[in-house]
Amino acid sequence: MKGPPDRVTVDHPAWMAQAVDWDRTWATDRERMELAVELSRQNVEHRTGGPFGAAIFERSGRLVGVGVNSVVRLDNSALHAEMVAFMMAQHRAGSFTLAAPGLATHELFTSCEPCAMCLGAALWSGISRLVFGASGEDVRDLGFDEGPVFPQSHQYLAERGIGIEGGLLRAEACGVLRRYRELQGPLYNRVPAV
Amino acid sequence: MKGPPDRVTVDHPAWMAQAVDWDRTWATDRERMELAVELSRQNVEHRTGGPFGAAIFERSGRLVGVGVNSVVRLDNSALHAEMVAFMMAQHRAGSFTLAAPGLATHELFTSCEPCAMCLGAALWSGISRLVFGASGEDVRDLGFDEGPVFPQSHQYLAERGIGIEGGLLRAEACGVLRRYRELQGPLYNRVPAV
């Protein structure tokens, strides 16, 4: 009757330990997005996953969590960059919400527009601002899907206090998407319309 | 420069080891939903999380993964019942998609209608059918949010080969929601519209 012990681990690729300076302050939006895009770039160059990176900061500029797409590496379709970043940040905060009393205000910077799953997760995460680089259209042009995301999806988050802004360092983020195509990275979890 | 080692573990509450008979076959839709609702009920009675349970079966009736809401227990807002079930099933399958060549066809049974995050995750998971019990409205009546889910969200999945059916054992699933309210279970990750 007893099944196998079910235990799933989420971690970063080995290169992450050297990729991030946890001691500095990330003062501007541009610096924060540079980190997200740099993580996406390293994930591609190291062949550890899809061309997506994300980072979560306190509004003051303190870094609290990072993530890169880890779907193929960890056999787990939920591990988009944003999801990993949310999990890591909440783990450090010791809370299931980054909006817990006593915590600073948190912002997500992600190299590409979030898919339907990550947009929903953003709502539950406790962040109060979401900034992305490349657009959903850029991602779809590469051959990935974004799932059921509509203009009213962003509106829904906005009405609940989560501002969404796109296009910061879009060209740089798109460069990483192109590099992934060049290296013939896999288009995992693709579900074409019938 | 090097940050703390980031590692997040996803597991089941201790009672799960005795709650599921992994050797039997779950022949009918009703039997499969009974398991999902029973898991939600036990999660509430054991005070280990929200009133939500999910299970993934091969079409033949073999059980391959279960999950209960573990948001508060594991400090992780992504760990809705469906997300845990997807992760466990893919971990056992050794694949980032349950639709990998050589695998059987997979179906998700979940005690309540999936939120926006879980609906997106369902699209990436590789399941080909999704059956839920209580409706999104039932869940919202309890005080939880479902996020940006619209009629065209379900349509989007249907067009990609994922049939969605609701209302199976709805009364039983709603009974668990009422029991959660009775026990004054927390409404974690609630984000009211402004």
Q: How far is A190 from chain B (nearest CA, A)?
A: 7
Q: Which residues in A lie closer than 8 A to residue B2 (C-beta atoms)?
A: 17-18, 22
- The predicted-structure confidence for A115-169, as pLDDT tens digits, reads as follows 999 999 999 999 999 999 999 999 999 999 999 999 999 999 999 999 999 999 9
Q: Which residues in A lie closer than 8 A to residue B9 (C-beta atoms)?
A: 7-10
Establish how many alpha carbons lie within 13 A of residue A155's alpha carbon, considering only the half-sphere containing its beta carbon: 5
User: What is the rounded CA–CA span in Å between residue B108 and residue B167?
Assistant: 14
Inspect the interface and report whether the beta carbons of A95 and B75 lie closer than 8 Å.
yes
One-letter amino acid of A165: E
User: What is the rounded CA–CA span in Å between residue A177 and residue A185?
Assistant: 10
What does the pLDDT read at residue A191? 86
- The predicted-structure confidence for A89-113, as pLDDT tens digits, reads as follows 999 999 999 999 999 999 999 999 9
Q: How far is B150 from chain A (nearest CA, A)?
A: 9
What does the pLDDT read at residue B2? 57
Question: In this predicted complex, what is the ipTM?
Answer: 0.97
Q: Is-contact A33 A109, C-beta < 8 A? A: yes
Inspect the interface and report whether the beta carbons of B124 and A91 lie closer than 8 Å.
no
User: What is the rounded CA–CA span in Å between residue B91 and residue A75?
Assistant: 6
Q: Label residue B38 exposed, middle or buried (CB < 10 Å: 0-12, 13-18, 19+).
A: middle
Query: Average pLDDT over chain B, rounded to whole?
Result: 96
Inspect the interface and report whether the beta carbons of B1 and A10 lie closer than 8 Å.
no
**pLDDT tier for residue A178 given thresholds of 50, 70 and 90:** very high
What does the pLDDT read at residue A31? 98
Q: Is-contact A82 A36, C-beta < 8 A? A: no
Q: Which residues in A lie closer than 8 A to residue B161 (C-beta atoms)?
A: 191, 194
Q: Is the dihedral of CA A104, A109, A114, A117 positive or negative?
A: negative
State both tokens at B37: 């609702």
- The predicted-structure confidence for A58-85, as pLDDT tens digits, reads as follows 999 999 999 999 999 999 999 999 999 9
What does the pLDDT read at residue B193? 86
Q: Is-contact B78 B188, C-beta < 8 A? A: no
What does the pLDDT read at residue A2? 58
- The predicted-structure confidence for A15-43, as pLDDT tens digits, reads as follows 999 999 999 999 999 999 999 999 999 99
- Total residue length of chain B: 194
Q: Which residues in B lie closer than 8 A to residue A125 (C-beta atoms)?
A: 77-78
**pLDDT tier for residue A190 given thresholds of 50, 70 and 90:** confident
